Amino acid sequence: MPEAISRETVAKVARLARLDLTDAEIERMTSQLAGMLDHFRDVDALDLSNVEPMNQPIPLTNVLRDDVVAPSLDRDEVLASAPAAQDGRFRVPPIIGFEE
């Protein structure tokens, strides 16, 4: 089991999760996550060496369908609920070129 979670790790995870946390939030999360991860040590009591991980409950195979054209969502209706749209597309801020 890895050692207790550090403030730096929490800050890094926040960046991975695209969450701008305040310093106070990072402080609080560090202690709360440490508490939850500590709780998880309970499972060290179990022998898991020969156990297959279970990703989901029902045995599934790929679900395929014929590749035929069918009605889909109305574009204007979809874009009407977007924060910004232009020329039938979602509008977003610049993706590159503004790194500091």
Partner 1 sequence: MAQRRTVVDIAAGVSSGALSASAVLEENLAAIGSREKEIHAFNLVTAERARERAAQIDTDVKAGKKVGRLAGVTIALKDNMCTRGVETTCSSKILAGWKPPYDATVVRRLADEGAVFVGKTNLDEFAMGSSTENSAFGPTRNPLDTSRVPGGSSGGSAAAVAAGFAAASFGSDTGGSIRQPAALCGLVGVKPTYGTVSRQGLIAFGSSLDQIGPFSSTVADSALLMEVIAGHDPLDSTSIPQPAPSLLNVLDQGVKGMRIGRITDMPEGSSPDVLARLEAAFEALRGAGAQIVDVKMPSMSFGLTAYYLVAPAEASSNLARFDGVRYGLRVDAKDLNAMYGATRAAGFGDEVKRRIMLGTYALSAGYYDAYYGKALKVRRLIADDFAKAYESCDAILTPTSPTVAFKFGDKTSNPLAMYLCDVFTIPTNLAGHAAMSVPFGTGEAGLPVGVQVLAPALGEAPMFRVAAELERNA
Binding letters toward partner 1, positions 45-84, x by CB under 8 A: -x-x--xxxxxxxx-x--x-x-------xx--xx-xxxxx
- SS3 for 8? helix
- SS3 for 45? helix
Q: How far is CA 99 from CA 18, 32, 64, 65, in A?
A: 16, 32, 42, 43
Instruction: Catalog residues that contact partner 1 under the rule CB under 8 A.
Output: 1-2, 5, 9-10, 13-21, 25, 29, 32-33, 35-37, 39-40, 42-43, 46, 48, 51-58, 60, 63, 65, 73-74, 77-78, 80-84, 90, 92-99
